[in-house]
A and B are shown apart, each in its own frame.
Chain A
Amino acid sequence: MITHTKFRQLKDKGFFILICLLMSLGALPLVSILFELIRKGYKQLNIAFFTETAPSTLDAMLAAGTGDVIPGGIANGIIGTLIMVSLASAVAIPIGIMIGIYLAEKPTAIFSNIVRFVADLMQGVPSIVIGIISYAWIVCSFQSYSALAGAFALSLMMAPLIIRSTEETLKMLPPSLKEAGLALGASYTSVVLKILLPAAFGGLFTGILLSISRVTGETAPIMLTALGSSMITVDVMRPMSAVPLLIWEFYNDPNLMDMIWSCSLFLLMLILTLNIIAKFIAHRWKIQ
């Protein structure tokens, strides 16, 4: 009997070690990517990187000749990404949350099932297809590449994520919460706005942050809609650059190779930060 127990304990330990090994194997890619990016990209990260526009080939070539770091930065991309993601959020967040509320409140309605199905399909649409659609609808009708078209494409990608995360979060709330609000004579609207949404805040915010971090790294739809720009611009009707787009542009210019790494490092850090904040908020405001 005792030997039997010992054997089981041993098996237990072996299983635990196996899990630990597999887990570290899974974490290996992220760690090695991060390490590679830091190793190759850290020397370009200076103040100019955040304040100046992308360098020209000639500047980069001259700098490479003397062994200096490449002058210039990615300010045009950072500002472009900021503007387009903010615009997309301004559209996708309210719409996504409202549709999410509807889905959670009327889970079995035929219309809900259709919307849920469409939202799930939308999540699977390749981003380049969304870029093409935005090109056809916005760029063609305005006769110009624009940040607006880019924001439109991004919002199409964000909305389904927010819809589903809102729905899932609201479904996790105990039904007694809604009943308690209504039992006090509150209207349906005030129960949703003053009780359900605040109680679900953590989940909603996490969903929003994850959707932002998802579209921040999108390149294909931006390429077909905002096109890119070498200047810092805030005019949303004009072409605009974005951080992932700059990576693609740097990739096409052999003299700017170093910039790829620092740009990628910046993008990865940005998205990692958003994800960590999302995790923190989900933990801090988790539904009891």
Chain B
Amino acid sequence: MENTVNNNMIDTLITSNNVRTPLIVEDAILTFKDVCVSYAPGKNAIESVNAAVEKGKITAIMGPSGCGKSTLLRAVNRMHELYDYIKVTGEILLNDQDVLKMNAMEVRRNAGMVFQRPNPFPNMSIFDNVLAGYSLNGIKLPKAEREALVEQSLRNVVLWDEVKDLLNKKGSFLSGGQQQRLCIARAIALKPEVLLMDEPTSALDPIATNHIEELLLTLKKEFSIVIVTHNMSQAARISDNSMFMYMGELIEYDRTNTMFTNPACQKTEEYLTGRFG
């Protein structure tokens, strides 16, 4: 009995004093300053997150279900605005501009997002899906430029050879992994500054997951990537920096190597060793 009480006290101590190790990055593309997100008044789902995301690197956000990792990611491209009960406060700087004060459409063009489930537009061909960012924004490109862009984007996601003869077919007949790569191509065709990925491989089989992971490693040369994942080994495999979140708080943020070999917080260690989550 006494033992349980003690354990609970330790838990409380850790979350209240959360021993954060704010990673200092030299070249930040994205900076969170006191970011809070609430789904209901007076109750924060995300509690003042402070962190800077490094440019040209893959940053993983991990943590158990419901810890707020997706919520934090969706705050960046202001997806929370679709639901008027969600409130976001604080500052999120994308290249030193506060996205919460910018025009939402402009923010979303600069911060591409890939969702958990592949969601190509069912009414558009593969070709049109890749260019959807342009057509939806009313941007007209010359034919040659369009073709070059589609080819380049599809080559970037290693899908070109598989679909080059099927560009005018609908995207929905592709396999799940191919559809997800098509969605990544759609996001990077707009040449965003940062690519937000919300558990992009959770709906895919191991082989497709492997494809996407390899792809991310090549994509980070051009784009800064923030990836939410509940898969620790995935974070360890591909990310340069890692955030660990628990109960809406950023518990630890460090180089992935350091965090996985020598975590600073007990909670992180417990999570990484599989004691909860």
Q: Is B190 an interface residue (CB 8 A)?
A: yes
- Tell me if B7 counts as interface (CB < 8 A to partner A): no
Known contacts A179-B82, A179-B115, A191-B136; decide if A184 and B122 are in contact (CB<8 Å).
no
The residues in A between 129 and 181 inclusive whose CB is less than 8 angstroms from any CB of B are: 174, 176-181
A194 at the interface (CB under 8 A from B): yes
Contact A180 B115 (CB under 8 A): yes
Interface 0/1 of B105-137, CB less than 8 Å to A: 111110011010101011100000000110111
**B172 contacts chain A at the CB level, 8 A cutoff:** yes
Q: Are B79 and A198 in contact (CB under 8 A)?
A: no
* Chain B: number of interface residues, binned into ranges: 20 to 34
- Given A179-B82, A179-B115 in contact, is the A184-B123 Cβ separation under 8 Å? no
Contacts A183-B108, A191-B136 given: A177-B82 contact, CB under 8 Å? no
Are the CB atoms of A185 and B105 closer together than 8 Å? yes
Contact B113 A183 (CB under 8 A): yes
Kindly state whether residue B243 has any CB partner on chain A within 8 Å.
Answer: no
B179 to chain A, nearest CB (A): 11
Question: Which residue of chain B has its CB nearest to the CB of A185?
Answer: B109
Task: Provide the main secondary structure of the chain B interface.
Answer: helix
Residues of B within 8 Å of A174, CB to CB, are: 119
Looking at the complex, which one of A177, A183, A190, A191 makes contact with B79 (CB distance below 8 Å)?
A: A183
Task: Given A178-B82, A182-B108, A184-B109, verify A190-B121 contact (CB < 8 Å).
Answer: no
What is the size category of the interface that chain A forms with chain B? 20 to 34
A185:B123 contact, CB within 8 angstroms = no
Q: Quick one: closest B residue to A183, CB to CB?
A: B113
Instruction: Tell me, yes or no, whether B274 is within 8 Å of chain A by CB.
Output: no
Q: Determine if B268 is an interface residue (Cβ-Cβ < 8 Å).
A: no
Nearest CB on B from A191, distance (A): 7
Kindly provide the distance from the CB of A40 to the nearest chain B CB, expressed in whole angstroms.
46
Query: Once bound together, how far apart are the Cα atoms of A195 and B121, in whole Å?
Result: 7
In the complex, chain A residues whose CB is within 8 Å of the CB of B123: 195, 198-199, 201
Residue of B108, B122, B136, B137 touching A288 (CB-CB under 8 A) = B122
Contact A185 B121 (CB under 8 A): no
Compute how far the CA of A288 lies from the CA of B115 in the bound complex, rounded to whole angstroms.
Answer: 17
B51 within 8 A of A: no
Given A190-B138, A194-B136, A199-B123: A183 and B77 within 8 A (CB)? yes
Q: How far is the CA of A186 from the CA of B186 in the complex (A)?
A: 13
B-side contacts of A185, CB under 8 Å:
105-109, 133, 136-137, 190
Decide yes or no whether B183 CB sits under 8 A from chain A.
yes
Give complex CA distance A183, B105 in Å. 8
Q: Inside 8 A of B115's CB, which chain A residues have their CB? A: 176, 179-180, 183
Bound form: Cα–Cα A196–B108 in Å: 19
B106 touches A181 (CB 8 A): no
User: Is A32 part of the binding interface, using a Cβ–Cβ cutoff of 8 Å?
Assistant: no
In the complex, chain B residues whose CB is within 8 Å of the CB of A5? none
6 A-B pairs in the complex with CB atoms less than 8 angstroms apart: A174-B119, A180-B113, A185-B105, A186-B105, A190-B136, A288-B172
Known: A183-B115, A184-B190, A191-B136; 17 extra A-B contacts, CB below 8 A, are A177-B119, A179-B82, A180-B113, A180-B119, A180-B121, A181-B121, A183-B112, A184-B133, A184-B187, A185-B106, A185-B108, A185-B109, A186-B105, A195-B121, A195-B123, A288-B122, A288-B172
A-B complex: 4 closest residue pairs judged by Cβ atoms: A185-B109, A186-B136, A198-B123, A185-B108
